[in-house]
């Protein structure tokens, strides 16, 4: 392992302190000197004059669980935007624990695939086996993983909508205890998703008890992010309080036009109150106004009636289209109807299967329906879902920038990507650009953050949240995860209509003292480590 000296750069320590012009010396994977003592001979000298030198970015919310095990190219997208550490196992979704039975495992993997991408059936079944597999793999960046309460519930009782029995509660709690003991930094919840949506506050509090005992955190995809968002935040604060653990509210946002500029402030008040009472509550956000999902999420559950295949067939008949039109115009207690709360003019067609539909890419459903002679947006949406068998992808412009900024300005909010690894050529741009976008837009263009504050929210804050020792700040003795870039040049290039664009302009990305990106190009050193260690 060689020594690296980075000379002449503006050093941002990641802790929120302003930049200082100092040299830094990296040796044996660690930071061995900063300033005085760093000016010595080195195998590689990087001239960073006029550049920023800062800790590598820590993305605590990527759905890359399966990637290190099945994709030899994993890492390029991440390293080029400066991510040197990532945490998987978010939103209740993780590849372990997993049913031992092959059929049941396949069912869980199919369910996970739109978020995690394809998973091999012969993969690990327990969290300990998963860690063992990670430890045997060449990792492009440092990697930690939580387990999800969705995976736990599927492992214990499949997709059943009945409550846990007492015995099942104990089995679930034991799985969580085992993962915490094996080194998980925390446990994620995906209360919006099947089958967790059937679980009560008390069920969660019971099974999550070991998390607090091990000093871990729960990260939560809350029950509803639209009309029920405030109640959903209240619920996870209560779960964390009862379970006795720290709480991270994942991708904290308010969806639905009529809720904008209002609900997020009510929810922030709840968080502030809990913090004032001594609860450890923080949140995170991704810097985009839209979410990405399947067009079929616009179908009201009463229309689908539990059978998506039949529902997609019915959309090919005039009666089916009419029924979709009628059910899409109603409001529902237990389902956010984006057809109304957002409207079709905020739904962008972002991924199609059939070549004749490519002309609609990047257009709203409303505009495309008008331009291409459909009766209305519903008729076009029905036609797309029917002819493409439900595989049409959309971006819903469900958030407003004022709300995102309100969350972004909270002193304890963390930047995440929420990158999803489904096999598609039209992913959400956050996969490729979330971190450089914050530098380009939030710091350089809009001045919402100082550079040191933005860097803090992408380095020391997330590292501390996941208790990643020796990461997230430039201090002597810490691991040498270091970036060098010119903030005028380093940028995201991915947009909603042209999303699969890599970030550019990162000069150096160093992981554990090894150069993973040099002058914007990926090397293939793979010096990452699995960061989950036995407690």
Minimum distance from residue 200 beta carbon to Zn ion (Å) = 20
3-state secondary structure of 11: strand
- Pick the stretch among 14-22, 76-84, 219-227, 461-469 that binds Zn ion (CB under 5 A): 219-227
Which of 61, 57, 64, 119 has the alpha carbon at shortest distance from 90? Answer: 61
Query: Which of 113, 518 has the CB closer to Zn ion?
Result: 113
Query: Which of 91, 144 has the CB closer to Zn ion?
Result: 91
Minimum distance from residue 185 beta carbon to Zn ion (Å) = 17
Query: Which of 91, 247 has the CB closer to Zn ion?
Result: 91
- Pick the stretch among 148-156, 218-226, 288-296, 372-380 that binds Zn ion (CB under 5 A): 218-226
Query: Which of 352, 434 has the CB closer to Zn ion?
Result: 434
Minimum distance from residue 253 beta carbon to Zn ion (Å) = 10
Query: Which of 35, 114 has the CB closer to Zn ion?
Result: 114
- Residues 6 or more apart whose CB falls under 8 angstroms from that of 387 comprise 316, 354, 357
Query: Which of 42, 415 has the CB closer to Zn ion?
Result: 415
Q: Which two tokens stand for residue 465?
A: 């949240």
Minimum distance from residue 241 beta carbon to Zn ion (Å) = 22
Question: Which single residue is written with the structure tokens 């949506």?
Answer: 197
Please check whether residue 419 is in contact with residue 250, taking contact to mean a CB–CB distance below 8 angstroms. no
Query: Which of 157, 430 has the CB closer to Zn ion?
Result: 430
| Contacting residue, 153, 221, 437, 457, with Zn ion by CB under 5 A | 221
Q: Which two tokens stand for residue 483?
A: 């970036």
- Pick the stretch among 213-221, 284-292, 302-310, 344-352 that binds Zn ion (CB under 5 A): 213-221
Q: Is 373 left (phi over 0), alpha (psi -120 to 50) or beta?
A: left
Query: Which of 150, 320 has the CB closer to Zn ion?
Result: 150
| Contacting residue, 91, 347, 380, 530, with Zn ion by CB under 5 A | 91
- Residues 6 or more apart whose CB falls under 8 angstroms from that of 273 comprise none
- Pick the stretch among 21-29, 88-96, 316-324, 450-458 that binds Zn ion (CB under 5 A): 88-96
What single-letter DSSP state applies at residue 263? H
Q: How many residues bind Zn ion (CB under 5 A)?
A: 2
Minimum distance from residue 262 beta carbon to Zn ion (Å) = 22
Query: Which of 335, 372 has the CB closer to Zn ion?
Result: 335
Query: Which of 19, 114 has the CB closer to Zn ion?
Result: 114
DSSP character string of 102-154: HHHHHHHHHHHHHHH----TTS--SHHHHHHHHHTS-BSSEEEE-EEHHHHHH
Minimum distance from residue 203 beta carbon to Zn ion (Å) = 19
Minimum distance from residue 249 beta carbon to Zn ion (Å) = 11
Question: Which single residue is written with the structure tokens 């550049």?
Answer: 51
3-state secondary structure of 88: strand
Which of 347, 305, 352 has the alpha carbon at shortest distance from 324? Answer: 305
- Pick the stretch among 169-177, 180-188, 216-224, 487-495 that binds Zn ion (CB under 5 A): 216-224
- Pick the stretch among 90-98, 302-310, 311-319, 341-349 that binds Zn ion (CB under 5 A): 90-98
Query: Which of 91, 339 has the CB closer to Zn ion?
Result: 91
3-state secondary structure of 368: helix
Q: φ and ψ at 175, to 5 degrees?
A: -60, -40
Distance, in Å, from the CA atom of 318 to the CA atom of 308, rounded to the nearest integer, reads: 18
Minimum distance from residue 261 beta carbon to Zn ion (Å) = 23
Q: Which two tokens stand for residue 1?
A: 């392992």
430 binds Zn ion (CB under 5 A): no
Question: Which single residue is written with the structure tokens 């709300």?
Answer: 403
Question: Which single residue is written with the structure tokens 């000093």?
Answer: 215
- Residues 6 or more apart whose CB falls under 8 angstroms from that of 169 comprise 203, 206, 207
Query: Which of 91, 506 has the CB closer to Zn ion?
Result: 91
Q: Please give the helix or strand (H or E) that residue 242 lies within, else none.
A: helix 229-243
- Pick the stretch among 43-51, 89-97, 259-267, 318-326 that binds Zn ion (CB under 5 A): 89-97
Minimum distance from residue 518 beta carbon to Zn ion (Å) = 34
Query: Which of 196, 388 has the CB closer to Zn ion?
Result: 196
Minimum distance from residue 299 beta carbon to Zn ion (Å) = 20
Q: Which two tokens stand for residue 520?
A: 């914007």
Q: Which long-range contacts (CB under 8 A, 24 or more apart) does 420-423 make?
A: 420/63, 420/114, 420/115, 420/292, 421/63, 421/64, 421/66, 421/67, 421/115, 421/116, 421/117, 422/113, 422/114, 422/115, 422/116, 422/117, 423/117, 423/118
Site string for Zn ion, 505-524 (x = CB under 5 A): --------------------
- Pick the stretch among 85-93, 166-174, 358-366, 386-394 that binds Zn ion (CB under 5 A): 85-93
Minimum distance from residue 190 beta carbon to Zn ion (Å) = 6
Minimum distance from residue 92 beta carbon to Zn ion (Å) = 8
Minimum distance from residue 298 beta carbon to Zn ion (Å) = 18
Beta strands at 30-34 and 24-27: parallel, antiparallel or unpaired: antiparallel
Which of 492, 500, 490, 494 has the alpha carbon at shortest distance from 520? Answer: 490
CA 225-58-253 angle, 5° bins: 15
Please check whether residue 63 is in contact with residue 90, taking contact to mean a CB–CB distance below 8 angstroms. yes
- Pick the stretch among 91-99, 116-124, 382-390, 443-451 that binds Zn ion (CB under 5 A): 91-99
- Binding site residues, Zn ion, CB under 5 A: 91, 221
């Amino acid at each position: 392992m060689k020594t690296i000296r980075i000379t002449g750069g503006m050093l941002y320590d990641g802790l929120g302190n302003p930049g200082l012009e100092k040299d830094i010396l990296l040796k044996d994977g660690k930071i061995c000197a900063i300033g005085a003592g760093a000016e010595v001979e080195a195998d590689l000298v990087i001239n960073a004059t006029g550049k920023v030198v800062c800790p590598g970015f820590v993305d605590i919310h990527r759905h890359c669980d399966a990637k290190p095990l099945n994709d030899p190219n994993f890492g390029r997208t991440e390293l080029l935007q400066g991510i040197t550490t990532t945490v998987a196992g978010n939103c209740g979704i993780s590849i372990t624990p997993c049913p031992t039975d092959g059929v049941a495992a396949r069912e869980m993997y199919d369910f996970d695939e739109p978020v995690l991408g394809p998973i091999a059936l012969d993969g690990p079944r327990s969290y300990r086996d998963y860690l063992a597999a990670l430890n045997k793999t060449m990792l492009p960046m440092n990697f930690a993983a939580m387990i999800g309460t969705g995976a736990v519930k599927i492992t214990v009782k499949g997709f059943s909508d009945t409550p846990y029995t007492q015995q099942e509660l104990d089995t679930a709690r034991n799985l969580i205890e085992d993962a915490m003991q094996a080194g998980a930094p925390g446990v994620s919840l995906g209360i919006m998703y099947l089958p967790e949506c059937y679980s009560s506050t008390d069920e969660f509090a019971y099974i999550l008890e070991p998390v607090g005992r091990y000093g871990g955190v729960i990260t939560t995809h809350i029950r509803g992010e639209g009309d029920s968002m405030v109640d959903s935040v209240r619920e996870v604060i209560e779960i964390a309080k009862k379970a006795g653990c720290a709480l991270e509210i994942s991708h904290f946002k308010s969806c639905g036009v009529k809720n904008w500029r209002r609900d997020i402030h009510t929810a922030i008040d709840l968080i502030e109150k809990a913090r004032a009472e001594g609860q450890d509550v923080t949140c995170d956000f991704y810097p985009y106004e839209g979410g990405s999902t399947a067009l079929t999420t616009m179908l009201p559950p009463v229309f689908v009636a539990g059978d998506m295949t039949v529902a997609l067939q019915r959309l090919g008949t005039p009666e089916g289209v009419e029924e979709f039109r009628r059910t899409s115009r109603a409001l529902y207690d237990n389902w956010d109807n984006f057809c109304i709360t957002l409207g079709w003019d905020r739904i962008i067609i972002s991924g199609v299967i059939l070549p004749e539909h490519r002309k609609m890419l990047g257009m709203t459903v409303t505009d495309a329906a008008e331009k291409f002679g459909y009766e209305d947006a519903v008729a076009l949406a029905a036609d797309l879902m029917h002819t493409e068998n439900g595989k049409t992808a959309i971006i819903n412009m469900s958030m407003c920038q004022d709300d995102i900024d309100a969350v972004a300005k909270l002193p304890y909010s963390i930047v995440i990507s929420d990158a999803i690894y489904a096999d598609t050529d039209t992913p959400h741009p956050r996969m490729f650009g979330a971190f450089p976008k914050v530098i380009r837009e939030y710091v350089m263009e809009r001045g919402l953050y100082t550079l040191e504050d933005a860097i803090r929210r992408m380095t020391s804050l997330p590292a501390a949240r996941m208790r990643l020792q020796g990461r997230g700040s430039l201090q002597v003795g810490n691991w040498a995860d270091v970036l060098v870039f010119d903030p005028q040049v380093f940028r995201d290039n991915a947009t909603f209509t042209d999303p699969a664009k890599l970030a550019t302009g990162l000069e150096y990305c160093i992981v554990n003292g090894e150069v993973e990106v040099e002058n914007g190009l990926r090397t293939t050193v793979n010096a990452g480590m699995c960061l989950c260690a036995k407690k």
